[in-house]
Structure 1
Amino acid sequence: MTPENEKSIRIALKNILQSPQLSGSARLQGFLTYVVEQSLLGHPEEIVGKIIAQDVYGRQPADGSDNIVRVDARRLRRALSDYYATQGSDDVVVIHIDSGGYVPRFEFREGDKDTQKPDKSRLAQLRIPIAAIALFAAALLVWAIGRGIDFSPSPDRADINVQGRAVQERKALAEKSMATLQASNMTAKASEMLFPIADVELQTAALKLFEEAIRIDPAYAGGYAGAAHSLSTLAVLAPDLKQRQEMLQAASLMSGTAVDLDPTNGWGISSQAWLAFASGDFENATTLANRAYLLSDLDGRVLNFYALILLLTGSFAEAQKISAPDAPRRDAGSHQANLNIHGVASFHLGDYETAVSSFDSAIASGAPVSELTLVYKAASYQANAQTAEAQKLLAELSRTWPVFQPEAALSKFYASHEHVDTVLVQLRAAGWPKDK
């Protein structure tokens, strides 16, 4: 390694140590500094769990030091991923700590910056041709308009691009291994069961499929991310604190593994967001959900959980926007659950006609429906002074799900009971018994 490269790496290290991701953690700062310096000194044999624990943390080999190092390595990988996804996105040097070890890997993303500078003389030569092309394009546009030719893009072009990206991703998975492709297929099937969100049996079935995907390919991150989503939902629905804590712990392990395996995949970050929500950390949940969206803005699963977190924490306008029916999205494995989310967000915004229309579209398109679909649609009707329609739906709710308790179900998910009351007021106005 050249002295210039070593200098660049140390500058990169300094920037990371001073970043918000690491500035508040002396342990992670020490960990990263140690492994980078040992690597630069040419001592990769020193970069193993027991030695790191001794040299960085002052731990002895017999006191569980390897576990501590593994946990901090996972935290460090997440911090590095976060840093390079935000303020470090333009850094020349990227420091990686790959899963399965602690020896750093250095990626130089740019060469000599002088070679990137534009050639002014070449630009001067291009000025006249560019001007000529611009005049020709303007003349062509006038000619086309005069003959009624429409140059606007096809309304289906965005959908075609989305589908094309999905095909490319499947080809890439197949090239990696058929086991990975099959694990991806299994994950997609399981993802279809993540909604309706309050169905315990469905979430349990989804979890089993995600676990099967993990068995088929233990290196595929999607199975772990999906399992973390199901486990977090089951934690929210758990009947007692002990089960809730067990589910959250299991979800944390699954989510951590997903991010370790594929730190820049939005579905894995989404599992962290939903875990944070299930744990009551609503602010962090929103931050992580937004990060997942920035990484995978067309993944229907990511969009659904982002919109859901926004909805349940009271950001109704943002939830309505993210779940909009006409927003570009790749909905493999989600069956347009966004339509129900869009309906609920519209209800809370007082746009009752749009809410009913969204629920009708969800039903017509085969999107997942449940007790809550009837609850929100009835509440929307009642709020729009259509009491007869609301009462018909509540009668159907009573016949189909006679033991369903709306307040108990809604209270498990909303961050504020105020929003639960908004729904219950309309149900009671339509004649729904107060004790249900």
Structure 2
Amino acid sequence: MSPTTTPSPAPAAAPSSKGAKRSLMSSLMDATALLRSASFKEDSYVAAALPPSELRALADLKALLAKHPDAMSIWGVPLNSPQQPPPAGADGAAAAPPVDERADVVLLKFLRARDFRVRDAHAMLLRCAAWRAEFGADAVLDEDLGFKDLEGVVAYMHGWDREGHPVCYNAYGVFKDRDMYERVFGDGDRLARFLRWRVQVMERGVRALSLRPGGVNAIIQVTDLKDMPKRELRAASNQILSLFQDNYPEMVARKVFINVPWYFSVLFSMISPFLTERTKSKFVIAREGNVAETLYKFIRPELVPVQYGGLSRAGDLENGPPKPASEFTIKGGEKVFLEIDGIEAGATITWDLVVGGWDLEYGAEYVPAAEGSYTLCVEKTRMVPATAEEPLHNAFTAREAGKMVLSIDNSGSRKRKVAAYRYFVRKPSA
């Protein structure tokens, strides 16, 4: 299947509309160009890649933890061995206690959060361990906190980015509804329960990490600022931020803000000079109307939720990874034809198509291979508005061999748009 914009030489062989010629390769090259490298570079947890000063700090932190009489673990990772005589080996010599390679990853997270000041990192780690014991963080995953209606809406883990990081989506716009806000945040007890639920979501994200040198050791946070009642949520957001900063250090590899209002962009530009380059490199800001293009840079479209211009619906990932989609771009003033060739008589073709920003025309035709056959209109050309929140989905059973041609007409816009499609062909049964 290839997008092409070549005018049809024969009425029965292709759509009658015209467009500028462009190949699939050029479309895919345009899409790949969106993945331009940024200044961001994720921290390493491989000992051989650490500078000597950081290795010394790691050794010093281990020495401090070794002095603790009790075993300590965080996220199920043992961080020390209690002071006791080591067991004897087969030859009678003292055998070294087994070392969990995940411990270095966890300890480096606390060290980086305190700029490798060993005693500060040690104190932070002890406070985190105490909080987890008091909060019951290890057991929170098994609790039913009564927020089933917020699952997949307010905060949820969904898919992974192009580098394998689990992705956590956050959207608090539903709380602009006063009744919803009161039901969740109406008093101190409700707020405390919501915070516990938000920790539960974070623990799911941590559970998806490998926490091993060279593995995936952080998540991606995508925060939707559309309709967020910032004043009402100030207390909750401050507590969530404090909890995560104190107890989940360096767990976020990148923070993507989408549907950002103009005043947030201004605020960020004002505080930007006071942020470290390392912190700024983790931030990505996308204004409304630019969401899909931004997310596609980091997340494949078949894993981006449909409400953000992707192809992934709730529950799609329960049966394993989805079928990959093909990405392309549509230039302003351009019309593209997507052709699905080689369809046999009796076969059923199913397709999904999404365009970031929409506001263009779409149609579908089936072109039989036999000379003299008539082109069939599968979907009449129609305008797809910018407000469309669902990808296009349809199916067609061919009575004769031929090809399906989807037309995407962006000639009424000057803006380039990202797009993605995938299709399934079920051959005719015997």
Structure with higher RCO (Cα < 8 A, 6+ apart): 2
TM over 0.5: no
TM-score (norm. length: structure 1): 0.29
